Structures are given as C-alpha cells and as structure tokens.
Homo-oligomer: A and B are copies of this chain.
Amino acid sequence: MLPIVKGLLAGERRALARAISIVDNDEPESREIIRQIFSKIGGARTVGFTGPGGAGKSSLVGRLIPECQALGYRVAVLAVDPTSPLTGGAILGDRVRMQGNLDDEKVFMRSMASRGAVGGVSKSLRNAIRILDAAGYNLVLVESVGAGQLEIEISKVVDITAVLFTPHTGDNVQAVKAGLTEIGDMYIINKSDLEGAGALYNTIVDLIGDTDRKPVVLKASAKTGKGVRELAKSIDKLLKEKSINYKERERRMLENELRDMVLNTVEKKASQMLAGSKKYSEFVDKLTRKEIDPYAAAEELAAGLFR
C-alpha cells in the first residue's frame, strides 16, 4: 500500500490534502491511489451547491457545516472553480472568509483547481470524493461557481443538487427558466432577510410546480442563521429518502465515468497515433493544396485508427 494511502486511511490531513492534489492535477499516482482505495469506499453522500455568483454559497455552506455535524455527519467541503486566467484563485479568497472553519479539525476543506476542460472537473471531483470517503468523511458538500455546463456536470456527480438564489441578483427568474429547474433537488432562497425573498420564493415554487420531481424549496439566511438548521435537516431527510435508489444511481454514475474515461483514453491514444502518422501529414499537405476538404480528410484518417 502506498504511504499516502495508508496516511489518508489513518485520517492524516496532509496525506489527504496531497492525495486530492494528485487526482486534481491528474498526476500519474492518481491511478494507484484510486485502485487501492476503491474497494474500501461507498459510504459518503454528496450535496452540490450551485447558483449565480453572489448568491452566498460559501457563507451558507459555512453555516451548514456545524448543523450537519450536529446530525452526526463527518463533513468535508470541496469548492470547484471553473478557473479562467481572469478569475483564477478567487474562490480561495472566499474560503478564508468562512468564519474560523478552516481551523476546525473536524471539517476538511479544499478548493479544486480543475482548470480547463469541463470533463476534467467530473473526474477530479469523483476521485476527490472517493478519497474523502476513504478517509472517513461521510458527507461531502460540493460548492461550484455558477457557470452553465459545469453545473449540469456537477449535478451528475453528486447525490443531491441544491440551487441557490437571492432576491437581489437580477436575472434570477430567467436563470430558473433557462435550465436550472432541471438539475435541482432543492432550491434555496438565500439571504432571505432581504426584501423580495418572499416573492422570489413564490416565483420559484410556481416555476417548478409543473415538474414531476417535486424538489424542495426553502428559505435561509447565512447572515442571521435563520433556516439553516431546517436546511440541514431537509438534506438529511432527502439523503435518507433517496437511499433506496443509491444502487441504481451509483451504477449510472459508474457507467458515465467509465464512458468518459474510455473516450478520454481513446482520444489520447488517437492523438499519439496521429502525431507519428505519415498519412496525417500527407492529408495536411492535401488540405493546404485544397485537394481534399477537412471533413473527408478527417473521416479517412479516423477510419484507419479503428478495428
């Protein structure tokens, strides 16, 4: 067994942090770490928090931690930031603002770098959750910056997706209409102490009223703490209710993961084969002379790669 795996199974925070960095950066050791812990896991439940920037995800998650601990969970937090050169690192700043939780030995918090490809985020996240699971955390709260495609992807990796809104972010209602209604198991009106919270609550209840899933709609305020205990209880209840479907859910998740990984491997391999291919550079020549079009060239080359 790798020393790092021994360490994280023993609950050493440094080993845990390092292991997550390794999977997040897709370092070669990832594979062996996951292989060694894979048979030891399966207990952790996961909740994703998503929503527009400024919806107060970090503060709410900060408040939620002790409430979930009070319900008996060992809590870890992963913050996913679809890092661009322009916003990189912003989320780490938020972390620091979370009141004192970073010093709490019972909670583990991490920002995931996950630069670049959207598909890369799922992979990092799944494996980070496995590592936390192996280290004995049984509730992982995943926080993401609202960014379209990414939210949908994260919702496929977690057990429960909570979508946050606040009365004062302008385009709330459009956002709900535009697709977030499909991914939420819970809708949270955060900053419920602000004016307009009641109206927003009603709007959201109306908008999702037509769906079969009957998601939970709740009001909470990270500032005053109101509604946070109820939120924790509601999450606990949902996780327990949903438990009947975990086997089915897990199978579907593993199916998606395996598919992603196979496609990734295939792509890497095809890329290597191309790099050394004489035919490839001949086709590029033909393209520059306009003797063939890109579609025809791509098809011929791709056909040559498969069994």
Nearest CB in chain B to that of A287: its residue: B254
CB <8 Å contact, B296 and A175: no
Contact partner of A299 (CB less than 8 A), chosen from B34, B52, B265, is B265
CB <8 Å contact, A305 and B306: yes
Q: How many copies of this chain does the complex contain?
A: 2
CB <8 Å contact, A88 and B178: yes
A residues 248-265 near B (Cβ < 8 Å) are: 250-251, 254-255, 257-259, 261-265
Stretch at the interface among A96-104, A142-150, A199-207: A142-150
Please tell me the size bucket of the interface on A.
35 or more
CB <8 Å contact, B271 and A258: no
Is A293 engaged at the interface, CB distance under 8 Å to the other chain? yes
Nearest first, the 6 A-B pairs at minimum CB distance are A84-B148, A261-B298, A265-B302, A85-B179, A85-B178, A38-B293
Q: Please give the distance in Å from A96's CB to the nearest CB on chain B.
A: 18
Contact partner of A287 (CB less than 8 A), chosen from B117, B118, B258, B281, is B258
Nearest CB in chain B to that of A51: its residue: B86
CB <8 Å contact, A147 and B295: no
Q: Please give the distance in Å from A273's CB to the nearest CB on chain B.
A: 8
Nearest CB in chain B to that of A296: its residue: B35
